C-alpha cells in the first residue's frame, strides 16, 4: 500500500462534509427565500383584506394621493400637528369647492387599525354633533381622512387661551350639552355602539356657530349594541381624561361609561374647575385640597360656584352649578355610579334643583389637563 494512500482517503473524507455544508446552506437560503415570499404574500393579503374591510363599511369617495396633494395645494395650509399626523386645510375637487380638513396619518401601523377604526366609526355616524366624513385616501402607506372643516378649531384652544372666561355661561352650557348628545348618539342610537375612548378638548371641534362636533375616532371601538363590557388588551386614551378602569380592572369593567368619565373631566375643565390658578391656590394644603375636594367644600357650605371668575352674573350661577354637579357625577370612581349619557343629557336639560351632590370619588383626580405627562404620571394615585 502506498504511504500516501491514507492521507488521500482522509482528504476525500473531508470533502463530503464540505459538500454537505454547501447543500445545507443552499437549503437554508431557499427556506429563507420562501419565508420572505410567504410573508410578502401575507402582507399583500392583509392590505387587500384591510381595503376590503374599508370598502365594506365606507360607501364614500376614495381619492388618490395625487388628489390629496391637489386638494391641499401641496399641503400648503397646516391646521394642526400631533402624534397621529398632520391636519391640512383644503377644498373638495368638485364644483362646490367646499372647505375640508384632511388628516394625513403619520407612520401608520402595518395593519392600519387606527385608520380603519376611524373610517368605520365616522362612516356610520351621522349626527349634528359628530364630524362628517367626506372621503379617504388609501394608497400603500399613504393614508388620509377627509372630513368637514371647522372654522373655530378645537375646544382646547378656547381653554388654553382662557377664552372660556370670555365666553358666556350659556355658550359653555351649549357646548357641554352638544357633546353629551353626540356621545349619547354614539352609545345608543348609532347603527353600532361606538365607544370613543379619547374624549378630550382637542377632539371636540367647533363650527362657525360654536356648535361642538366630536372628532378623531382612531382609538374608538365598535361594539354590538347589547355589549355592556368591552375587552381591552391595553390602556388607551389621553392622560388626564382616562377612566380608572381603563388603567386597572380592579376599578370595574371597561364600557361606554369610560367615555362618561372623560366627558366629566372635559366639562369640569370647560368651566374652569381644573384651571391652573385654582389648583395652585389649593396646593398649600396638598393632603386635603386636591381637585375636586375644594368643590365639595364649596357645595357643603352652599357657596356660589364662581369658577369662571368674578364676572359671572347671578343668573348664570345655576348653569355653572348644574355643570359642576353633572361633571362630578360623571367622574365617579365606580363606573356603575356614573350616569349613562342619556341621563347626562336629561340632567343638563333639567333644573338644578333636581340634582343632588354626588359622593366624593374614592380616587382624587390629581391628574389635570394642564399638567405635563411627566407630572401627571408622578401625581397619579390610582
| CA dist., res. 318 & res. 270, Å (int) | 16
Average pLDDT value for the chain: 78
Percent of the chain with pLDDT over 70: 66
Stretch(es) of the chain classified as CATH 3.30.200.20? 61-148
pLDDT confidence bin for 73, thresholds 50/70/90: very high
Grid coordinates belonging to 94: 368638485
| CA dist., res. 72 & res. 92, Å (int) | 9
Segment among 3-17, 34-48, 70-84, 129-143 with least mean pLDDT? 3-17
**Which residues does residue 39 pair with via DSSP β-bridges, in sequence order?**
none
What is the tens place of the pLDDT at every residue in 87-99?
999 999 887 889 9
Segment among 158-172, 211-225, 271-285 with least mean pLDDT? 271-285
What is the tens place of the pLDDT at every residue in 258-280?
999 999 999 998 887 655 444 44
Q: What is the biggest distance separating any 2 CA atoms in the chain, rounded to whole angstroms?
A: 121
Stretch(es) of the chain classified as CATH 1.10.510.10? 155-379
| CA dist., res. 88 & res. 72, Å (int) | 7
pLDDT at 307: 52
pLDDT tops 90 at residue 58: no
Closest CA to 324 of 358, 301, 349, 282: 358
Closest CA to 121 of 27, 209, 220: 220
Residue 103 is assigned to a ligand binding site: yes
| CA dist., res. 145 & res. 200, Å (int) | 20
pLDDT at 46: 52
Q: Residue-wise over 186-212: b if at least 16 C-beta within 10 A, else e?
A: bbeebebbbbbbbbbbbbbbbeeeeeb
Average pLDDT over residues 220-227: 82
DSSP 3-state assignment of 304? coil
Q: Residue-wise over 112-148: b if at least 16 C-beta within 10 A, else e?
A: bebbbbbbbbbbbbebebbbebbbbbbeeeebbbbbb
Q: Does the domain formed by 61-148 have CATH 2.60.40.1170?
A: no
Average pLDDT over residues 114-125: 87
CB atoms within 10 A of CB 6: 10
Grid coordinates belonging to 227: 355589549
pLDDT at 102: 96
Phi and psi torsions of 273, nearest 5°: -60, -35
pLDDT at 230: 79
What is the tens place of the pLDDT at every residue in 172-221?
999 999 999 999 999 999 988 999 999 999 999 999 999 999 999 988 98
Average pLDDT over residues 302-309: 52
pLDDT at 78: 95
pLDDT at 276: 43
Higher pLDDT, residue 143 or 32:
143
* 155-379: CATH topology: Transferase(Phosphotransferase); domain 1 (1.10.510)
Segment among 113-122, 147-156, 202-211 with least mean pLDDT? 113-122
pLDDT tops 70 at residue 151: yes
pLDDT confidence bin for 371, thresholds 50/70/90: very low
pLDDT tops 90 at residue 35: no
pLDDT at 23: 66
Residues with catalytic roles: 198
What is the tens place of the pLDDT at every residue in 7-33?
545 545 554 555 555 666 666 677 667
Q: Which residue do the cell numbers 351621522 mark? A: 126
pLDDT tops 80 at residue 351: yes
Amino acid at each position: 500500500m502506498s504511504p500516501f494512500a491514507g492521507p488521500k482517503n482522509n482528504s476525500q473524507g473531508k470533502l463530503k462534509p464540505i459538500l454537505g455544508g454547501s447543500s445545507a446552506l443552499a437549503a437554508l437560503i431557499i427556506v429563507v427565500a420562501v419565508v420572505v415570499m410567504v410573508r410578502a404574500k401575507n402582507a399583500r393579503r392583509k392590505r387587500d383584506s384591510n381595503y376590503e374591510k374599508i370598502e365594506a363599511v365606507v360607501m364614500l369617495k376614495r381619492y388618490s394621493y395625487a388628489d390629496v396633494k391637489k386638494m391641499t395645494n401641496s399641503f400648503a395650509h397646516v391646521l394642526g400637528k400631533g402624534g397621529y399626523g398632520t391636519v391640512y386645510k383644503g377644498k373638495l375637487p368638485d364644483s362646490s369647492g367646499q372647505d375640508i380638513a384632511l388628516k394625513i396619518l403619520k407612520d401608520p401601523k402595518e395593519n392600519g387599525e387606527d385608520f380603519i377604526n376611524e373610517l368605520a366609526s365616522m362612516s356610520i355616524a351621522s349626527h349634528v354633533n359628530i364630524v362628517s366624513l367626506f372621503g379617504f385616501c388609501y394608497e400603500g402607506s399613504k393614508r388620509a381622512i377627509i372630513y368637514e372643516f371647522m372654522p373655530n378649531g378645537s375646544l382646547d384652544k378656547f381653554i388654553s387661551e382662557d377664552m372660556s372666561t370670555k365666553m358666556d355661561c350659556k355658550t359653555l352650557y351649549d357646548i357641554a350639552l352638544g357633546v353629551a348628545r353626540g356621545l349619547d348618539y354614539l352609545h345608543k342610537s348609532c347603527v353600532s355602539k361606538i365607544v370613543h375612548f379619547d374624549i378630550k378638548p382637542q377632539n371636540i371641534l367647533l363650527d362657525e356657530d360654536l356648535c361642538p362636533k366630536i372628532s378623531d375616532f382612531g382609538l374608538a371601538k365598535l361594539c354590538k349594541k347589547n355589549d355592556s363590557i368591552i375587552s381591552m388588551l391595553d390602556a388607551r386614551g389621553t392622560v388626564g381624561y382616562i377612566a380608572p378602569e381603563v388603567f386597572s380592572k380592579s376599578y370595574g369593567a371597561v364600557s361606554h361609561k369610560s367615555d362618561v368619565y372623560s366627558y366629566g373631566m372635559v366639562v369640569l375643565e370647560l368651566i374652569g374647575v381644573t384651571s391652573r390658578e385654582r389648583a395652585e391656590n389649593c396646593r398649600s394644603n396638598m393632603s386635603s385640597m386636591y381637585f375636586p375636594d375644594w368643590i365639595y367644600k364649596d357645595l357643603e357650605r352652599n357657596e356660589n360656584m364662581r369658577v369662571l371668575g368674578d364676572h359671572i352674573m347671578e343668573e348664570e350661577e345655576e348653569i355653572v352649578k348644574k355643570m359642576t354637579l353633572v361633571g362630578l357625577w360623571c367622574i365617579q370612581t365606580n363606573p356603575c355610579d356614573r350616569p349613562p349619557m342619556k341621563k347626562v343629557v336629561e340632567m343638563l336639560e333639567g333644573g338644578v334643583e333636581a340634582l343632588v351632590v354626588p359622593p366624593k370619588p374614592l380616587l382624587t383626580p390629581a391628574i389635570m389637563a394642564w399638567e405635563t405627562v411627566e407630572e401627571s404620571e408622578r401625581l397619579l394615585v390610582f
